[in-house]
Amino acid sequence: MPDARKTQRLPRSVHRGGDARDFRSGPWCLARRGILRAQAVTAKALRPAVRTSEVDVVDANVSERPRADVVLTGTIGIDAVRRMRAQLLAATRGPSSSLVIDLSGVDSLDGAAAAVLVALENELGAGGIQVRLEGARGRVRTILRAFEARREAVPTKAPPKRRAILEEVGRATARVGAAGRDALEFVGEVVAESFAVLVRPQEIRWREVARVSEGVGANGLPVVALVSVLVGFIIAFQSASELKQYGANILLADLVSLTITREMGPLMACLITVARSGSAFTAELGTMKVSEEIDALRAIGLSPIRFLVLPRIAAMVLVVPILAVFADVVGVLGGLVVAVGALELTPGAYLNECQAALLPRDIVLGVSKSVAFALAAALIACQRGLATRGGAAGVGRATTRAVVVMIIAVIVLDAVFAFFSNVFGL
């Protein structure tokens, strides 16, 4: 007896003993043909049919350049955008000066396909090929009009215009003047908010001051220690051979202690802080500016100067002098290594000579320098951050410029301190 499952798979005509013609024309075959026909129709609807033809117009008196015609039909979705673009570009590879895209047979068009068509129209137009979209109707025409309304004109590169030297100097002077005006305006706002905070100290965010101080100071101690001890070691090592020739080994303590305390300690501490924390201030505030968080603060009635800038300035001014004193101590200890190892001085003699060489005014001068350096660096970092424009690239540019300006400002202030300390005998 035949298997029931196999019997159910056979066409009804064969099961009844029909001939081969019944097998080819029975209901099973008709159903299979219907399925295949439905699949073919679906595939045709999902794939835009593109046919191209070259049209040459020949006339005895009129010579017209060739034109390429492309007809799109069916439903054009995002899955067919790449293939459609490649076929449209292939239609213009010949000697065509214009391209007509017939959209009368398109039933449906999504945003991706419309964007590609409009962008391709701009691209080919820039290359000298005139593109026309014709025959769009219904929803297809509505989508195309929406994208064409936002279409940008093809940019044309004008030849560079040479400016005179005086014009360039004038433009540069105007930019410097505008930057100076913005900086003075920012400093004025900071001073006004500072007086307001002095009257009401509870309005400043002291928790934010503590958080920023931790990032500026505690997290920066290892770097400051490493750089300072190496600077003290280098100064002592470079001076040891010369002092040893004259038998003035003990003067190495005076040289290292005065140089580190008055000059190199505050300078190194502030430069490291500028590189670490100053750039972080600019990047943080710049990111908030381009993401419109600063505008949101103003919208809810909060001052960005009081809410964001003053805590960072206070943290910098409080922490950098401590870092400078720490750098002084570590730098003197770096000179001690050379004094004991190269000049055969005892640690006690070296430290006693340092104590005798240093005066309170030397320490005060170094701390005063660090305060001025920290204030200038914090103001520049915050001002450049709040003046950021242009998205992520603008944040990068603002951070780079802020670091450069902060370093230059610190060096200039150091020169000013050196001049006045020499004039007044400090």
With vertex at residue 151, the alpha carbon angle to CA 147 and CA 154, rounded to the nearest 5 degrees, is: 150
CA dist 245 and 172 (Å) reads 53
Q: How far apart are CA 387 and CA 389, in angstroms?
A: 7
Confidence (pLDDT) at 61:
28
Task: Give the residues of the chain that fall short of pLDDT 70.
Answer: 1-69, 77-81, 91-97, 126-127, 147-161
Q: What is the pLDDT of residues 141-153, one digit of tens each?
A: 777 777 665 554 4
CATH of 46-56+65-149, one of 3.30.750.24, 3.90.1300.10, 3.10.450.40, 3.40.50.261: 3.30.750.24
Question: Which of 145-153's residues contact partners 24+ apart within 8 Å by CB, and which partners?
Answer: 146/114, 147/111, 147/114, 147/115, 147/117, 147/118, 148/118, 151/118, 151/121, 151/122, 152/122
Question: What residue segments make up the domains of the chain, in order of their start?
Answer: 46-56+65-149, 182-191+199-423
- Cβ-in-10-Å burial (0-12, 13-18, 19+) of 317 comes to middle
What is the strand order of the sheet 67-76 is part of? 49-55, 67-76, 98-109, 130-134
pLDDT tens digits, one per residue of 9-30: 444 443 444 444 444 445 445 4
* pLDDT at residue number 43: 46
Q: Hey, how many other C-beta atoms are within 10 angstroms of the C-beta on 179?
A: 15
Structure confidence at residue 9 (pLDDT): 43
Please tell me the predicted confidence (pLDDT) of residue 120: 74
List, in sequence order, every residue forming a beta bridge with 40; answer none if it has no partner: none
Q: Point out which residues pair with 105 in neighbouring strands.
A: 73
Looking at residue 251, its pLDDT comes to 86
